[in-house]
Amino acid sequence: MNAVEFILAGMLAAATPFLLAALGELVAERAGVLNLGVEGLMALGAALAFIVVYHGGGHLLAFVAGGLGAALLALIFAFVTLGLQANQVAAGLAIGIFGQGLSALFGKTYESLTVKGLPKLALPGLADLPVVGGLFVQDIVVWLSLLATLLIWAGFAFSKLGLVLRAVGENPKAAHSIGYPVILIRVAAVLFGGVMAGFAGAYASTVYTPLWADGMIAGRGWIAIALVVFGTWLTGRIFLGACLFGAVSLAGLAAQAGGVELPSQLLASLPYLVTILVLGIISSNRRLLKLNGVASLGEPYKP
């Protein structure tokens, strides 16, 4: 397998933690809530899911545990910011730190232990194609994440629920005036974002890298938040951005395997360098951000 085949074969799996967390954050931000605690939510979900799988609970139960644990933490964030009208940036940072601390506490006795991942499922015919065949050999979570991307895109584009979420994020006063429960909708969006972040962490610790190590999320939550801006709050662009960051993270490994004489620390930092570069380019286009941005993002609202 050459470098191109290696990157294509692993790109979707590497992108899945980014994609799941970013999709959840997209829904929350479309409803007008900025949750900067995604890193902590992912870390807690990863720890809980790993513990469940390690003790024989199975991957399905692990994902449920990871999603519920992160959702409970997200509920605390929702109570503080939507119920008590606290600053969303400060509360998100606090929740993120709290989640990482909980993950370190719960996972302390499982350091360096491993579990069994999930088998790959190949699409007949497509998996045998030269060069790109590896794209069509993925585990079930990758396929479900692609389905989730399609459903969220369709929901925002064609469903009443998507329109209501966007209305709540753009102008909560107007949405409230026509009878929509703004706070309840925002709480539901935050919980959905928490569940998706928990799923992302569960995938990272039990499928993509089925071992536990403190700090294994390693900034993926921050990249997921950046992806929402990178994709200018559009589902398709967020998916493409997740694939880009997945490919870049594998490119470092491919370069090392190919004998490129660069420090491993520099190669490992490639996704973060790309994040900074892309966000700088996107931020310079004020028209694009204004066109697709969320008008009331991060602003408190009290009926």
Smallest Cα–Cα separation from 102: which of 15, 18, 43? 43
* pLDDT for position 264: 67
First vs last Cα of the chain: how many Å apart?
Answer: 59
Cα 212–chain centre separation: 19
Q: What are the distances in angstroms from CA 191 to CA 122, 195, 286?
A: 33, 6, 30
pLDDT band at residue 103, thresholds of 50, 70 and 90?
A: very high
Higher pLDDT, 299 or 43: 43
Higher pLDDT, 193 or 291: 193
DSSP states of 127-162 as a string?
Answer: GGSTTTGGGGEE-HHHHHHHHHHHHHHHHHHH-HHH
pTM summary value: 0.92
Which residue bears the tokens 């028209």? 287
216's CB contacts (< 8 A; 6+ apart) are 46, 204, 205, 209
Amino acid at 22: A
pLDDT at residue 5 greater than cutoff 90 = no
* pLDDT for position 1: 59
pLDDT band at residue 4, thresholds of 50, 70 and 90?
A: confident
Range from 56-60, 111-115, 298-302 carrying the lowest mean pLDDT? 298-302
For the chain, the average pLDDT equals: 90
Domain regions of the chain by residue span: 3-292
CA distance 257 to 244: 20
Which residue bears the tokens 């993926």? 220
CA distance 231 to 176: 28
pLDDT band at residue 29, thresholds of 50, 70 and 90?
A: very high
Question: What's the rounded mean pLDDT across residues 272-277?
Answer: 79
pLDDT at residue 282 greater than cutoff 80 = no
| Residues pairing with 138 in the sheet | 121
* Domain at 3-292: CATH architecture: Orthogonal Bundle (1.10)
